[in-house]
Amino acid sequence: MNETRKPIVVVGSVTMDMVTCTPQIPRIGQTVIGTSFSTTPGGKGANQAVAAARLGYPVQFVGMVGDDVYGPQLIDNLFHAGVDTSAMLAASGSSGLAPIFLAENGQNAIVVVPGANGKVDSAYVDKHLHVIRNAGMVLCQLELPMATIDHTLALCAQFDVPVMLDPAPAAALSDPVWKQVAWFTPNETEAAFYIDGGSDPEPVARELLARDLRGIVLKRGAEGAYVAVAGGKAGWVQPFAVDAIDTVAAGDCFNGAFAVALLEGKDPWAAARFACAASAISVTRHGAQASMPSRADLKSFLASRG
């Protein structure tokens, strides 16, 4: 069968996560004895790409690895998850790396060292204009240089391609960016970076929408998600209760699944419910890309929850 769906295109980061499991995340100056260490593919962009691809949607990734030992592993992992990696490039130097502390209660602390992700520039994006022009939706995060994000979003505006921007890690955005984003998906900490005071999602969403955004999802982890549309409805999408063991990349799982559901024609609330289910499954598994559910996993999870 010929593929007629326009792909999700992720212009984003790919990183090798260096995960140290520990009873608790050390305080400043404290040494703790950890329980295990592993390297596992991550990076917010690549995680979102894998989340969408595992659900059976066509996905293309525009990003760079380094020419180190991790580069081929990172590309292979994306490829085997079903992501089109033909636009990827190995730049000289280190791949993106992310030391992560993962505590027994599922909480985490992450430092991202950009490596090759810092070399993804506008000239490289321009080499893949046809990919962006042909996208059903472009997904970006903030682990690439800001000039590259600005440029990518300007191209999406020019080609009339909707953009989902995950403002993670939170950083100041230029004025045109706000107008070019169809879906803005901060978690609670990131939302607080943009809107001062209060964690009540209703005023936060209202203030964010006032910046010309068209749609917002406030990701609230175990509380679910708050969805608001410019000039339209706003409200909570309830979470699925699960026993979380690893919350790394749960937000990325949400974004990949949310994009798939929107492109499959679900309304934003049904799409957010689908994405909440996907990320509920992901937190019951270890790893970032390794935790993303397949379509079959998601169907049986939703069936089991009625």
Q: Which of 9, 78, 98, 208 contacts ligand RIB by CB under 6 A? A: 98
Strand partners, 140: 11, 165
Task: Report how many residues bind ligand RIB under the rule CB under 6 A.
Answer: 15
Residue 119 lies near ligand RIB (rule: CB under 6 A)? no
Q: How far apart are CA 274 and CA 142, in angstroms?
A: 24
Instruction: Report the catalytic residues.
Output: 252
The least CB distance from residue 34 to ligand RIB, in Å, is 18
Q: How far apart are CA 222 and CA 279, in angstroms?
A: 10
Residue 15 lies near ligand RIB (rule: CB under 6 A)? yes
The least CB distance from residue 19 to ligand RIB, in Å, is 9
Q: Quick one: 84 or 252, whose CB is closer to ligand RIB?
A: 252
Backbone dihedral angles phi then psi of residue 131, each to the nearest 5 degrees:
-65, -45
Q: How far apart are CA 117 and CA 12, in angstroms?
A: 8
Q: Which of 180, 164, 167, 138 is nearest to 255 (CA)?
A: 164
Residue 75 lies near ligand RIB (rule: CB under 6 A)? no
For the record, the structure tokens of 278 come out as 């996907």
CA distances from 76 to 47, 88, 144, 276 (A): 14, 11, 21, 28
Residue 282 lies near ligand RIB (rule: CB under 6 A)? no
Residue 248 lies near ligand RIB (rule: CB under 6 A)? yes
C-beta of residue 286 within 8 angstroms of C-beta of residue 36: no
Residue 112 lies near ligand RIB (rule: CB under 6 A)? yes
Only one of the segments 38-46, 222-230, 231-239, 260-268 lies at the binding site for ligand RIB (rule: CB under 6 A); that segment is 38-46
Residue 185 lies near ligand RIB (rule: CB under 6 A)? no
Q: How far apart are CA 159 and CA 162, in angstroms?
A: 9
Strand extents, DSSP E, the chain: 8-11, 15-22, 36-42, 59-62, 64-66, 83-84, 89-91, 96-103, 108-110, 137-140, 163-165, 183-184, 215-219, 225-229, 234-237
The least CB distance from residue 51 to ligand RIB, in Å, is 11
Closest-approach residue to ligand RIB (CB)? 42
Residues 143-172 that bind ligand RIB (CB under 6 A): 143
Only one of the segments 40-48, 64-72, 146-154, 209-217 lies at the binding site for ligand RIB (rule: CB under 6 A); that segment is 40-48
Q: How far apart are CA 130 and CA 91, in angstroms?
A: 21
Q: How far apart are CA 42 and CA 78, in angstroms?
A: 10
Q: Which of 17, 68, 84, 246 contacts ligand RIB by CB under 6 A? A: 17
Q: Quick one: 125 or 253, whose CB is closer to ligand RIB?
A: 253
Q: Which of 44, 151, 219, 273 contacts ligand RIB by CB under 6 A? A: 44
Q: Quick one: 75 or 155, whose CB is closer to ligand RIB?
A: 75
Q: Which of 125, 204, 249, 275 contacts ligand RIB by CB under 6 A? A: 249
Question: What count of residues does the chain have?
Answer: 306
Residues 187-206 that bind ligand RIB (CB under 6 A): none
Residue 100, CB-side half-sphere exposure with 13 Å CA sphere:
29
Residues 124-143 that bind ligand RIB (CB under 6 A): 143
Q: Which of 7, 9, 10, 42 contacts ligand RIB by CB under 6 A? A: 42
For the record, the structure tokens of 205 come out as 């969403």
Which residues of the shown chain bind ligand RIB in the complex (CB under 6 A)?
15, 17, 42-44, 47, 98, 110, 112, 143, 248-249, 251-252, 288
